[in-house]
Structure 1
């Protein structure tokens, strides 16, 4: 798997926030997810994790900032890998916090998280 920086942070027509009511949008903007999305997520430096990936041309990695952000939320909220994966699939607050509301399918699985940790342990 080769390292590719995640520069794609633009909304698409599929973005799930477009389906929210004005009230729901206000609630989301006042939630912890907005603070995480605005302050923590942009501060995650993906480049420092590039050493964990192959330099050879191959399948691109899952966005590292999404993985690291999910792991931060997992620890902060004291949940399991399965619970963070489930939350990302069904809870718009997690998707908003991790800038994945425009993704057709959430890019994280329990295997994504365990493999990322294993790469870090080998480095």
Structure 2
């Protein structure tokens, strides 16, 4: 069963990022992660993968953009 996931677009109420030390926060904000999130993660169209899931049987899918992002990162760091 395919269900599109938009939960990453709404900020969490209890987010551990808000509790980090300001120095660590600035290091994270200057890393590649926010750029990757904005330019790759948010641009993945999950609906293109709906046809590989059964429409009326089974549990909902794991978010496709997370699975694809893990593959992209894996290939980015392979030597």
- Structure 1 and Structure 2 fold alike (TM over 0.5): yes
5+ unaligned residues in a row in structure 1: which ranges? 80-123
TM-score where L is the length of structure 1: 0.58
5+ unaligned residues in a row in structure 2: which ranges? none
Structure with max Cα Rg: 2
CA–CA distance in 2 between the matches of 1:16 and 1:52? Answer: 34
| Runs of 4+ with deviation above 3 angstroms | none
| RMSD (Å) for aligned C-alpha atoms | 1.5
CA–CA distance in 2 between the matches of 1:72 and 1:20? Answer: 27
- Ranked by relative contact order (alpha carbons within 8 Å, sequence separation 6 or more), the top structure is 2
- Map Cα deviations across residues 1-45 of structure 1 (whole Å, 9 max, x no partner): x11101112222332212211111111111011110111101111
Q: How many residues in Structure 1 have an aligned counterpart in Structure 2?
A: 78
> What pairs up with 1:9-20 in 2 under 5 angstroms?
9=8, 10-20=10-20
